[in-house]
Amino acid sequence: MFGRMSARSAVPLDVRLEENRNRLTPRRHKLIETILERADETFFLSSRELAKLLDVDAATIVRTIQALGYDRFADFTADLRRYFLARITPYAVLKAETKKGRTVADHVTRSLDRDLDNVTKLKERLDTGGLTDLVRKIHTASHILVVGVDLAASLSWLLAYALVPLGFSAEAPVGSAGNVRHKVRVLGKNDLLIVISFGRCLRESVEAAISARERGVPTFGITDGPATPIALHCDRSLIVTTGSPLFTGSYVAPVALIDAILTACSQIRPSRSLSKLRQSEEEYFSGDRFYQEPAGRRGQRKQQLLRQR
């Protein structure tokens, strides 16, 4: 359908649109504008998926892209991603959403709809082979370092914390950039580095992947596109969508992916998992890990509830 990369592939997408304005019919111009407006939803789609989203024929998508000077759909989507990442900031996201004149209830519904859509896309497109490969690496690694910076630190902490009860030596370094670098430097070829970052990807996370890979440490990324710096600099990556009308992005699908990873880790060798978890079984029935209401206060609370009825 498409030939080799166009010689004009370095021309930014919005510049192409302006240069070719006279060559585009009003319908095609509107189509491109819609794709740009919804770039967070469209940059990772195939031509057929994009056509389905916008309720047009796939042939219309192809002809419109060719009118902009693209020979390959992959070149167009690469430019679309660059266009999206160059403009996406928390301020830009919130400003765009505020302009749309929705009620608070409308915004809440839209946010939940996007979260559900992101999880649905994860289910439909999950690279199960890649996930299995990651899980096998986790099982054989002497030590697992999970790096996530800024908001992604919550994801790295969740994954590392949940791996420990399953018997894995895992940690998510916190603190300064120097602390992350020190932790990465001591990794060996029998260890594993998992890096989580999205969009343009934070420098500290990317540098961790580059440093580890240069020394032969196995690296695995969790990111939101096949062309992100994390995907390019890790041995292998899992892709998950974070698009959202919320200025922070959405971590609902990444959390679902982490749940899937942990599920696979516990089920690939269930006898081992049960053996490790059995060691902490007594904590759930004795000891002081969980809060218990004092006996006298329990009675008082019961009386309060009865009176409220």
Which CATH number does the domain housing residue 209 bear? 3.40.50.10490
In this prediction, what percent of the chain has a pLDDT beyond 70? 89
- Indicate yes or no: pTM above 0.95: no
Determine phi and psi for 76, rounding to 5 degrees.
-65, -50
Asked if 75 and 133 sit in the same domain, the reply is no
Same domain assignment for residues 133 and 51? no
Tell me, what DSSP letter sits at residue 200? T
Q: Quote the pLDDT of residue 279.
A: 81
Please check whether residue 28 lies inside any domain of the structure. Answer: yes
2-61 residue pLDDT tens: 333 343 445 678 778 888 888 888 898 889 988 888 877 787 788 888 999 899 999 999
The DSSP code for 127 is: -
Instruction: Work out the end-to-end distance of the chain between its first and last CA atoms, rounded to an integer number of angstroms.
Output: 70
Q: Is 40 exposed, middle or buried (0-12, 13-18, 19+ CB in 10 A)?
A: buried
Beta strands 219-223; 192-196: pairing state: parallel
**Mean pLDDT over residues 145-156, rounded?**
95
Q: Is residue 136 part of a domain?
A: yes
User: Per-residue confidence at 249, pLDDT binned at 50, 70, 90?
Assistant: confident
Encoded tokens for 51? 């056509």
How distant is the alpha carbon of residue 194 from its chain centre?
13
Half-sphere exposure of 92 (CA within 13 A, CB side): 9
Domain annotation covers residue 117: no
- According to the model, what pLDDT value does residue 4 have? 36
Any domain includes 147: yes
Residue 85 near residue 199, CB atoms below 8 Å:
yes
Across 40-54, 115-129, 144-158, least confident range: 40-54
154: domain range? 124-276
Under DSSP, the state recorded for 6 is P
Q: Give residue 281's pLDDT.
A: 78
**CATH number of the domain that residue 60 is part of:** 1.10.10
Give pLDDT tens digits for 256-282: 999 999 999 999 999 999 888 888 777
Average pLDDT, the chain: 86
**Residue 305: inside a domain:** no
Q: Over range 196-208, report the average pLDDT.
A: 92
